[in-house]
Amino acid sequence: MKKYLFALLFTVSPLLMFAVGIPEENRKMVLTITLVGIVIVLLALTVVSISVGLMSKSISLSENRDSKKVKRIKEAIMSDDDDRIIAITLALHLEKIAMNEQEKAILTIQKVIKPFSGWNNKALGMRTPRYRNL
């Protein structure tokens, strides 16, 4: 692939130099700057691809470590007696129910009744007819 790119570059670049009208003394400098730019871009892409590969490997290794820790914890939990687990879950359930009952007892709602005022009653203003002098 790289061979084809370089072959294309070397065959097309002289034609482009003639078409653009670059003087003869500057052609060599333009060609070297172009080649240096292409090499820099290819090196940068190589570094990026290597760093992405290393990051993916490090992420997969950290996930494997975490999964091993989870397996160890599960094995430790499964080795306990079933009666202990049942007692702990029952105690947590009863504690949760007691917390909910206490919260319900604390909640109070007061209804505020505003006194009636005729000044802001729209229905009163609509019922009374207004007579005009014609």
- Does the pLDDT at position 53 exceed 80? yes
Q: Which residues contact 22 (CB under 8 A, 6 or more apart)?
A: 30
Show me where the domains of the chain are located: 29-79, 81-114
Taking the C-alpha atoms of residue 55 and residue 51, their distance in angstroms, rounded to an integer, is 6
Among the listed residues 20, 46, 55, the one whose alpha carbon sits nearest the alpha carbon of residue 34? 20
pLDDT of residue 52: 95
Rounded distance between C-alpha atoms, residue 119 and residue 117, angstroms: 5
pLDDT digits over 19-50, tens only?
666 777 887 888 788 889 888 999 999 999 99
Q: What is the pLDDT of residues 62-100, one digit of tens each?
A: 887 877 777 777 766 666 677 788 888 889 998 888 877
Residue 54 scores a pLDDT above 80: yes
The answer to whether residue 128 scores a pLDDT higher than 60 is: no
Note the pLDDT of residue 60: 86
CA distances from 19 to 13, 25, 26 (A): 10, 16, 14
